[in-house]
Structure 1
Amino acid sequence: MRILVTGGAGFIGSHLAESFARNGHEVTVLDNLEPYYDIGIKQHNVETARKASHESDGSYEFVHGSVTDPEIVRELITDIDIVYHQAAQAGVRTSVENPTKPNRINVDGTLTILEAARDADVTRVINASSSSVYGKPEYLPYDEEHPTTPVSPYGVSKLAAESYVRVFNEVYGLPTVSLRYFTVYGPRMRPNMAISNFVSRCTKGNPPIIYGTGEQTRDFTYITDVIQANRTLLTDGGADGEVLNIGSTDNIDIHTLAEVVRDEIDPSLDLKYADRHAGDAEHTHADITKASDLIDYEPTLSIREGVRKFIDWYEVNREWYEPLVLKS
């Protein structure tokens, strides 16, 4: 199958590209290598996926460009069966500082992808959305019917993009699915995420820093569970037109998460606290009943199991990954 992964040099996108290439698909990645964090990590992601294609019957092509460029997008989508739209300007805190940029990339870029996909009559567009669309909880866990009141420009941009995805399904008949990810983590994750920060600091003998009181709660979803949900949508059209929560098996507060990481690496370390950032959600917790019903989604790793796996990976890959984490 011919697959386009936008944002395919990023964390989730690169794992998708690697998985598809390793399984014999023809993969094209579109990414502008935005230096939101050290692009050395993204370049490593590209080489990892390219290597996977060499070890299989699949193929891999990297295209340096933006989803906001209609000419590039139209040219690429002409020969594509499935689009995995992962490209976005990430970062709640970044969006608070500059709300225009996530709107341009996350909203306008999504619309560019959808128009090209409609005209090319692709089989399906799978859109990466976010739990940030929920914002203030009226009840927990969030199901897909929960009101969407995002508390950051990033969340607003993802909700707007998601709405365009739905409309293109309803109005134009383009098969689409939006997956609302709940804090994805794992090997090659962005260096500015809580778990990677905690692991990096503890590994060097520094206490983890918690922003706020640590009472904030999160679903942390391991990358292999997210990839499996996406892989199902290659051939399963049962969720077309839907929005699905993709979360984890449990929920944890940030204080306890920092303790779990610290205790795995160096129990003698203290915990440090700093001011909380504007725009951060107080709580997230996913109801995954709908995803379970429609695509048989079943997360496999608890947060404690996932943290251990990430620490093991970090120790093996520390030589190349850690210097780039420190630079970001």
Structure 2
Amino acid sequence: MHCLVTGGAGFIGGHLAEAFAREGHDVTVLDNLEPFYDVDIKRHNVEAAREAATGEYAFVEGDVTDEELVAELVADADAVYHQAAQAGVRASVEEPLKVHEYNVDGTLNLLDAARDTDLERFVYASSSSVYGKPEYLPYDEDHQTTPVSPYGVSKLSAEHYARVYHELYGVPSVSLRYFTVYGPRMRPNMAISNFVSRCIHGEPPVIYGDGTQTRDFTYIEDIVGANRTLMTDDSADGEVMNVGSTDTIDILTLAEVVRDAIDPTLEIQFTDAREGDAEHTHADVSKAGELIGYEPDVTIREGVENFIGWYRENDDWYDDLVRRS
């Protein structure tokens, strides 16, 4: 199968491209190398997928807002894994128009190109940010969607386009609502990478807010597994599904888990909360379980242990990038 992975130099897209390439699929990555964080991490993602490839692998530097380029690449693909987005809840508060252009207009370009093809699957990477303030937890897909950031609004808008293009034009689209994905080569400005970096350097982890915020952290291997299943499983076409983890954890406990694994003598510090962040996220993944057999395997403590081990093995290049973020 020929897979087009947009945002395939990013964290999640890079892992998808690497996994598909290793499994013998032909992979084309479209990424504009947006410097939202250090592009050296993105270059590592590209090289990891290129080295893993047992089929054809091609990297195209370009943008999902380029209609002509998008149409050309989608026409050659059997499946589209649309991971490209202007990331960052807090960044979206500062630049909402940019977020709309990439996340909504870019998605619409891809969907419009897809309706004139025989595409087998269009998988859209959405986010738990579409829910906003919880009326109840865990979130199921019937929970009210009232996002509290431009990023969340953009993700929800693109979900609706994916649904409409399935209903009107038969595009075999599926939207996956990711819940705080983490793991090797993750963005350096995420809580887990920052906690690990600071503790390794003998510095206390810093929490934004009081630490009572909860997150449903999802290990990257579980995300890859859900996307891999959708390559050949059409039972979720037209649907929106949560893809989360096995448990939830508050940020203070997360900081303690990281601290205790590296240097239990460090004292945790606190600073002001960040604007636009949700207070709580927790996924009900029963729908994904029913439709595609999704069963997350990695607990937060197992995932943190894995990430710390990977961090130590790759600190010759990754640590410096985290420290600069």
Compute the TM-score of the two structures, normalised by the length of structure 1: 0.98
1:191 aligns with one of 177, 188, 193: 188
SS in 2 for 1:318: coil
Matches for 1:1-328 after TM superposition, within 5 Å? 1-53=1-53, 56=54, 58-328=55-325
Q: 1:121 Cα shift?
A: 2.7
**Whole-Å separation in 1 of the counterparts to 2:27 and 2:156:** 27
2:250 aligned partner, one-letter code: D
- For residue 327 of structure 1, report the CA deviation from its aligned partner: 2.0
1:131 shift after superposition: 0.1
CA–CA distance in structure 1, aligned partners of residues 322 and 32 of structure 2: 20
In structure 2, distance between residues paired with 1:238 and 1:121: 17
- Distance in 2 between residues matched to 1:174 and 1:77, nearest whole Å: 12
Q: Distance in 2 between matches of 1:71 and 1:136?
A: 39
- Detail structure 1 runs of 4+ shifted over 6 Å in the superposition: none
Letter in 2 for 1:252: I
Report the residue type matching 1:319 in the other structure.
D
The amino acid across from 1:37 in the alignment is Y
C-alpha distance in structure 1 between counterparts of 2:83 and 2:148, whole Å:
21
Deviation at 1:232, TM superposition (A): 0.1
| CA–CA distance in structure 2, aligned partners of residues 101 and 80 of structure 1 | 27
Identity %: 70
Q: In the aligned structure 2, how far is the partner of 1:3 from the partner of 1:306? A: 27
Task: Write out per-residue CA displacement over residues 112-157 of structure 1, whole angstroms, 9 at most, x where no aligned residue.
Answer: 0000111123111000000000001000000000000001110000
Aligned partners of 1:272 and 1:62: how far apart in 2? 42
Q: Secondary structure at the match of 2:57?
A: strand
Partners of 1:103 and 1:77 in 2: CA distance? 21
The CA deviation at 1:71 is 0.8
* Deviation (angstroms), 1:88: 0.1
Q: Which amino acid aligns with 1:308?
A: E
1:171 Cα deviation from its structure 2 partner: 1.1
Residues matched between the structures, number: 325
**Secondary structure of the residue that 1:83 maps to in structure 2?**
strand
Deviations 1:2-35 (A, max 9, x none): 0000000000000000000000000000000000
**Matched residue type, 1:124:** R
Deviation (angstroms), 1:250: 0.4
Cα distance in 1 for residues equivalent to 2:133 and 2:73:
38
Amino acid at match of 1:108: D
Letter in structure 1 aligned against 2:286? T
CA distance in 1, matches of 2:94, 2:4: 31
* Gapped regions of structure 1 (runs ≥ 5): none
SS in 1 for 2:316: helix
Structure 2 runs not aligned, ≥5 long: none
Distance, in Å, in 1 between the alignment partners of 2:236 and 2:33 is 31
Map Cα deviations across residues 227-281 of structure 1 (whole Å, 9 max, x no partner): 0000000000000000000000000000000000000000000001010011000
